[in-house]
Amino acid sequence: MDHSNYVIDEMISAKSIAARVETLAKEISEYFKGTDKLVVVGLLRGSFVFIADLTRELDMPVEIDFMETSSYGNSTESSREVRILKDIRGEIEGRDVLVVEDIVDTGHTLNHVVKILKSRNPARMKICALLDKPSRREVDISADWIGFEIPDKFVVGYGIDYAQRNRNLGHIGAVRFIE
């Protein structure tokens, strides 16, 4: 199949995303209330828009750090082999950490990242994912906060790409390939 011809059907509007991000931020701020500085660890690259919007809504001091992993390349299927391309720079031992992911699909990437970060002894660590595809899960892991549960469709927009395209869409759209 030629993957160069596709259309994007809007799944979640920009307005719905903004409202959900605001709600998530309130819940996260409440949970971590009293934390002197929350370390938000974003998983690049798909979560960068979500991280920017979410952290602006958090009502507390925040430090932002990033990890970059790879398991997709330019494919629509996870290779299940997770590589760390960029590690966080800061120390998280004894600190509260929020891992922010764009989408939890098979769970392999998130599971790998969580194991690495837990080995560094954070005080508390929670996970927030914009999207969750529970039907695809192969590993027993789930986010503590989820923006939206979605069906098994390949999605783009709001930071999420297909072959490095469509990250700049303000909404989440389902990719539909045309024969």
DSSP the chain: --TT-EEEEEEE-HHHHHHHHHHHHHHHHHHTTT-S-EEEEEEETTTHHHHHHHHHH-SS-EEEEEEEEES-TTSSS--S--EEEE---S--TTSEEEEEEEEESSSHHHHHHHHHHHTT--SEEEEEEEEE-GGG--SS---SEEEEE--S--EEBTTB-BTTBSTT-SSEEEEEE--
105 is a catalytic site residue: yes
Determine which one of 102, 105, 132, 161 is catalytic: 105
- Measured distance CA(67)–CA(45) in Å, rounded: 9
Residues with active-site annotation = 105
